[in-house]
Amino acid sequence: MTTVIAIDDKLCTGCQECSKVCPNLAIEGLPHQPQKINETKCVMCGQCVQKCKSYVSVAEHGFGSHAKIRKERGLPETVVEPLFAAYNVTHLDEVLRALEDPKVETWVQSAPAVRVGIAEDFGAPLGTLAAGKLAAGLRRLGFDKVFDVNYAADVTIMEEGSELIDRVTNKGLLPMFTSCCPAWVRYLELNYPELRHHLSTTKSPQQIQGALLKTYGAKTQKVEAKKIFSVSIMPCTCKQYESSRPEMVDSGYRDVDVVITVRELAYLLKLKGIDFLSLPDEKYDLPMGDYTGAAEIFGVTGGVMEAALRTGYELITGQAIPAVDIKAARGSDGYREADIQVGDLTLKIGIVTGLKNVKPVMEALKAGKLDRHFVEVMTCPAGCVTGGGQPKLVLDKDFDEAYQNRAAATYAHDLELPIRKSHENPSVKKLYDTFLKKPLGEESHKLLHTTYCGDAKSHHSH
The pair phi, psi for residue 338, each rounded to 5°, is -150, 150
Please answer whether residues 289 and 146 qualify as being in contact, where contact means their C-beta atoms are separated by less than 8 angstroms. yes
Residue 87: name the closest of 95, 97, 79, 77 by CA: 79
Strands 176-177 and 374-378: parallel
* 175 prior amide bond cis, ω within 30: yes
In sequence order, the β-bridge partners of residue 381 are 383
Burial class from Cβ neighbours inside 10 Å (0-12, 13-18, 19+) for residue 252 reads exposed
Please answer whether residues 303 and 181 qualify as being in contact, where contact means their C-beta atoms are separated by less than 8 angstroms. no
Which region, left, alpha or beta, applies to residue 214 given φ > 0 means left and ψ of -120 to 50 means alpha?
Answer: alpha
Please answer whether residues 266 and 121 qualify as being in contact, where contact means their C-beta atoms are separated by less than 8 angstroms. yes
Residues annotated as catalytic are 160, 163, 180, 200, 239, 242, 247, 384
Residue 236: name the closest of 446, 1, 43, 29 by CA: 43
d(CA 400, CA 372): 30
Burial code (b: 16+ CB inside 10 Å, e: under 16) for 99-136 equals beeeeebbbbbbbbbbbbbbbbbbebebbbbbbebbbb
Find all residues with CB under 8 Å of 396, minimum gap 6, and list them. Answer: none
The pair phi, psi for residue 12, each rounded to 5°, is -70, 130
d(CA 342, CA 311): 11
Residue 225: name the closest of 254, 245, 204, 259 by CA: 254
Burial code (b: 16+ CB inside 10 Å, e: under 16) for 228-250 equals bbbbbbbbbbbbbbbbbbebbeb
d(CA 44, CA 36): 14
| CA 172 to the chain's CA centroid | 27
d(CA 160, CA 176): 10
| Dihedral, 121, 6, 358, 375 alpha carbons, nearest 10 | 60
Residue 254, SS3 per DSSP: coil
